[in-house]
């Protein structure tokens, strides 16, 4: 058995064969830090985390690079409109730099709560202006660049095979879409900016000198420049959400391969959307849910992580509060099963369940299948020590906090008092009183269970 992954570029599943044996280099497009990320964005980051953990599980040495887009991502995909960072700054009366810092920190906190492993390299676009200008100079020398009034553009007609990531059927649609907002000075509707000039007579908060005039890099340039810096001109895997296929990733390929004449990323993987009310969850659509909204409704971030595993990453997933509730219940039950065997002496993991779990991962990261294998094991009659072995191995991949018990010290003092009185009543063998107190706690949403180690409680 070996790892098979779906490659958007070839439109088929391929055996994963890295450039260097047992090593995997990955570039995953990161957030634009002008606002909070929504749980739709986090679906993509969780999928990428599963990829990283799967590679590690299969004993690859992983190097993962993620960028932070803190300049140059404009409100329109056609290189028009305002910089999202400056929009955020105007909205909140802060500098673009403060906005970037604030939302980068918020993003990293959310990722930690979702148990998304930190990337090996986290790099900001604004820290890599020199590298981006270097790439633009290479493209200029190679003859791909022309200048118009608002910036330097990449001539897509000069790049053989432009748009091959989308497939031939889509390129017509892209051209038509781009035409709606097209800058009439562009030579082709699909041409894109690699360097934008600061507007005349206006000083931008984020701008840099360049041989062509003061301004800022186009959004796509940052990912090409930083991926090559940290992973080399050719590397193994590039990921993002499906919305990046037609423009962002298509343009990354054109400018990277235009400059180096080498294959850029060998395998392209894209996560499907999280939907809300039958549409892509998006900041611009208004109806979006943040991680903090889930917590306010009594969900833990890891309940949402479990929810992401209920659909294959290449299938759309609906977000509803009812379905999240089922994922919460399922995660709680799995956690109870893990805590029940936590202290059992370890035994050999049962080969069948372990094989099924691994086979699901190798089957293009089939997480519903991997979860099913874990559930089969939990429900089977294999010895508890073997269940513990499987659950521990699975938890390294799932990252669902299965072996973490509730922290009792979080109870408010008045409820803690009830709990203490109940412990005393039981010690005094006053079971009637203990039952009354159990009901009092239950009314307050606290369920009490008596174990050999004493009372245990959890929130309903
Ligand atoms: P952005 O901050 O808009 O650049 O998006 C960050 C990541 O989230 C990108 O990889 C997007 O493709 C992805 N993304 C955006 N919206 C969704 C969604 N509704 N479901 C899943 N992924 C998304
Ligand atoms: Zn990118």
Atom nearest to 239 CA in ligand 1: 10
Q: Check residue 78 and give its pLDDT.
A: 64
User: Which CATH code, of 3.40.50.620, 3.40.1170.60, 3.30.70.60, 3.40.50.300, is assigned to 4-271?
Assistant: 3.40.50.620
Answer for the pair 304, 294: CB distance below 8 angstroms, yes or no. yes
Is residue 107 over pLDDT 70?
yes
Atom nearest to 275 CA in ligand 1: 19
Distance 220 CA to ligand 2 centre (A): 6
Rounded to whole angstroms, how far apart are CA atoms 215 and 295? 41
CA distance readout (Å), 362 to 57, 65, 148, 216: 10, 22, 48, 42
pTM for the predicted model, two decimal places: 0.87
Q: Check residue 285 and give its pLDDT.
A: 65
| Closest CA relative to residue 328, chosen from 271, 427, 226, 401 | 401
Atom nearest to 273 CA in ligand 1: 20
Dihedral sign, Cα of residue 177, residue 180, residue 183, residue 187: positive
Portions of the chain given CATH number 3.40.50.620: 4-271
Q: Which ligand is nearest to the CA of 273?
A: 1
Residue 62, beta-bridge partner list: 24
Distance 40 CA to ligand 1 centre (A): 6
Confidence of residue 129 (pLDDT cuts 50, 70, 90): very high
Distance 38 CA to ligand 1 centre (A): 8
Out of 255-259, 348-352, 428-432, give the one with best mean pLDDT: 255-259
Answer for the pair 354, 367: CB distance below 8 angstroms, yes or no. no
Rounded to whole angstroms, how far apart are CA atoms 249 and 245? 5
Distance 130 CA to ligand 1 centre (A): 27
Kindly report the backbone phi and psi dihedral angles of residue 350, in degrees, each rounded to the nearest multiple of 5, phi listed first: -75, 130
**Residues with a CB atom less than 6 Å from ligand 1:** 29, 31-32, 40-41, 43-44, 240-241, 243-244, 271, 273-274, 280-282
Q: Check residue 195 and give its pLDDT.
A: 95
Q: Check residue 39 and give its pLDDT.
A: 97
Confidence of residue 93 (pLDDT cuts 50, 70, 90): confident
Give the residue-averaged pLDDT of 86-97.
83
Residue nearest to atom 11 of ligand 1 (CA): 241
Residue 181 or residue 427, greater confidence: 427
With pLDDT > 70 as the criterion, what percentage of the chain qualifies? 93
Give the residue-averaged pLDDT of 124-135.
96
Q: Which ligand is nearest to the CA of 223?
A: 2
Residue nearest to atom 9 of ligand 1 (CA): 241
* Summary mean pLDDT of the chain: 91
Residue nearest to atom 8 of ligand 1 (CA): 41
Over the stretch 59-69, which tens digit does the pLDDT of each residue have? 999 999 999 99
Rounded to whole angstroms, how far apart are CA atoms 51 and 54? 5
Over the stretch 15-57, which tens digit does the pLDDT of each residue have? 999 999 999 999 999 999 988 999 999 999 999 999 999 999 9
Is residue 388 over pLDDT 80?
yes
Distance 16 CA to ligand 2 centre (A): 22
Q: Which ligand is nearest to the CA of 38?
A: 1
Confidence of residue 202 (pLDDT cuts 50, 70, 90): confident
Portions of the chain given CATH number 1.10.730.10: 276-398
Q: Check residue 142 and give its pLDDT.
A: 97
Distance 249 CA to ligand 2 centre (A): 7
Q: Check residue 411 and give its pLDDT.
A: 78
If one looks up domain 276-398 in CATH, what number appears?
1.10.730.10
Distance 128 CA to ligand 2 centre (A): 14
Q: Check residue 168 and give its pLDDT.
A: 61
Give the residue-averaged pLDDT of 224-228.
98
Is residue 452 over pLDDT 80?
no
Q: Which ligand is nearest to the CA of 281?
A: 1
Rounded to whole angstroms, how far apart are CA atoms 254 and 218? 14
Give the residue-averaged pLDDT of 418-436.
91
Is residue 412 over pLDDT 90?
no
Q: Check residue 409 and give its pLDDT.
A: 57
Q: State which of 241, 288, 313 you would mutate to test the pocket of ligand 1, scoring each by most atoms of that ligand within 8 A of its C-beta.
A: 241
Distance 41 CA to ligand 1 centre (A): 4
Residue 77 or residue 213, greater confidence: 213
Q: Are strands 274-276 and 279-280 parallel, antiparallel or unpaired?
A: antiparallel
Q: Check residue 288 and give its pLDDT.
A: 87
Answer for the pair 86, 75: CB distance below 8 angstroms, yes or no. no
Give the residue-averaged pLDDT of 386-410.
88
CA distance readout (Å), 160 to 176, 190, 256, 261: 20, 13, 13, 11
Q: Which ligand is nearest to the CA of 264?
A: 2
Residue nearest to atom 15 of ligand 1 (CA): 41
Over the stretch 268-288, which tens digit does the pLDDT of each residue have? 999 999 999 888 998 766 578
Residue 365 or residue 94, greater confidence: 365
| Closest CA relative to residue 95, chosen from 71, 115, 78 | 71
Three-state SS string over the chain comes to CCCEEEECCCCEEEECCCCCCCEEEEEECCCECCCCCCHHHHHHHHHHHHHHHHHHHCCCEEEEEEEEECCCCECCCCCCCCEHHHHHHHHHCCCHHHHHHHHHHHHHHHHHHCCCCCCCEEEEHHHCHHHHHHHHHHHHHCCCEEEECCEEEECHHHCCCCCCCCCHHHHHHHHHHHHHCCCCCCCCCCCEEEEEECCCCCCCCCCECCCCCCEEECHHHHHHHHHHHHHCCCEEEEEEEHHHHHHHHHHHHHHHHHHHCCCCEEEEEEECCEEECCEECCHHHCCCCCHHHHHHCCCCHHHHHHHHCCCCCCCCEECCHHHHHHHHHHHHHHHHHHHHHCCCCCCCCCHHHHHHHHHHHHECCCHHHHHHHHHHHHHCCCCHHHHHHHHHHHHHHHCCCCCCCCCHHHCCHHHHHHHHHHHHHHHCCCHHHHHHHHHHHHHCCEEEEEECCEEEEEEC
Give the residue-averaged pLDDT of 230-258.
97
Confidence of residue 357 (pLDDT cuts 50, 70, 90): very high
- Sequence-distant (≥ 6) Cβ neighbours of residue 401 within 8 angstroms: 115, 300, 302, 335
Over the stretch 135-183, which tens digit does the pLDDT of each residue have? 999 999 999 999 999 999 999 999 999 999 987 656 665 655 555 556 8
């Amino acid at each position: 058995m070996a790892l098979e992954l779906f490659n958007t570029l070839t439109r088929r599943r391929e055996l994963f064969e890295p450039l260097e044996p047992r090593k995997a280099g990955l570039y995953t497009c990161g957030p634009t830090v002008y606002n909070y990320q929504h749980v739709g964005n986090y679906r993509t980051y969780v999928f990428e985390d599963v990829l990283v953990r799967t590679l590690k599980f299969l004993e690859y040495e992983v190097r993962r690079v993620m960028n932070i887009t803190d300049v140059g991502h404009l409100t329109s995909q056609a290189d028009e409109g305002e910089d999202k960072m400056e929009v955020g700054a105007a909205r909140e009366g802060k500098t673009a730099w403060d906005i970037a810092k604030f939302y980068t920190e918020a993003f990293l906190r959310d990722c930690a709560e979702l148990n998304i492993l930190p990337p090996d390299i986290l790099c900001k676009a604004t820290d890599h202006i020199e590298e981006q200008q270097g790439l633009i100079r290479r493209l200029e020398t190679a003859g791909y660049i022309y200048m118009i009034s608002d910036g330097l553009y990449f001539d897509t007609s000069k790049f053989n095979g432009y748009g091959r990531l989308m497939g031939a059927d889509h390129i017509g649609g892209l051209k038509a879409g781009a035409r709606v907002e097209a800058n009439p000075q562009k030579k082709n509707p699909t041409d894109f900016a690699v360097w934008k000039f600061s507007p005349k007579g206006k000083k931008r908060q984020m701008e840099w000198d360049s041989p062509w005039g003061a301004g800022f890099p186009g959004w796509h340039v940052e990912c090409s420049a930083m991926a090559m810096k940290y992973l080399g001109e050719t590397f193994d895997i590039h990921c993002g959400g499906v919305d990046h296929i037609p423009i962002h990733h298509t343009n990354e390929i054109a400018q990277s391969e235009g400059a180096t004449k080498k294959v850029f990323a060998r395998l392209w993987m894209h996560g499907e959307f999280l939907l809300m009310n039958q549409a892509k969850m998006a900041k611009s659509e208004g109806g979006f849910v943040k991680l903090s909204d889930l917590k306010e409704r009594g969900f833990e971030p890891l309940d949402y992580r479990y929810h992401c595993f209920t659909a294959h990453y290449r299938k759309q997933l609906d977000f509803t509060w009812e379905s999240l509730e089922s994922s919460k219940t399922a995660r709680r039950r799995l956690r109870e099963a893990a805590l029940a065997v936590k202290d059992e002496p370890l035994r050999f993991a049962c080969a069948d369940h372990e094989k099924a779990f691994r086979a699901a991962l190798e089957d293009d990261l089939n997480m519903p299948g991997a979860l099913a294998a874990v559930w089969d094991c939990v429900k089977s009659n294999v010895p508890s020590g073997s269940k513990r072995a499987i659950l521990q191995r699975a938890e390294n991949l799932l990252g669902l906090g299965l072996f973490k018990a509730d922290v009792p010290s979080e109870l408010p003092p008045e409820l803690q008092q009830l709990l203490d009185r109940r412990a005393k009543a039981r010690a005094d063998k006053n079971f009637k009183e203990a039952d009354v107190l159990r009901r009092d706690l239950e009314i307050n949403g606290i369920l009490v269970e008596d174990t050999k180690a004493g009372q245990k409680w959890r929130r309903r």
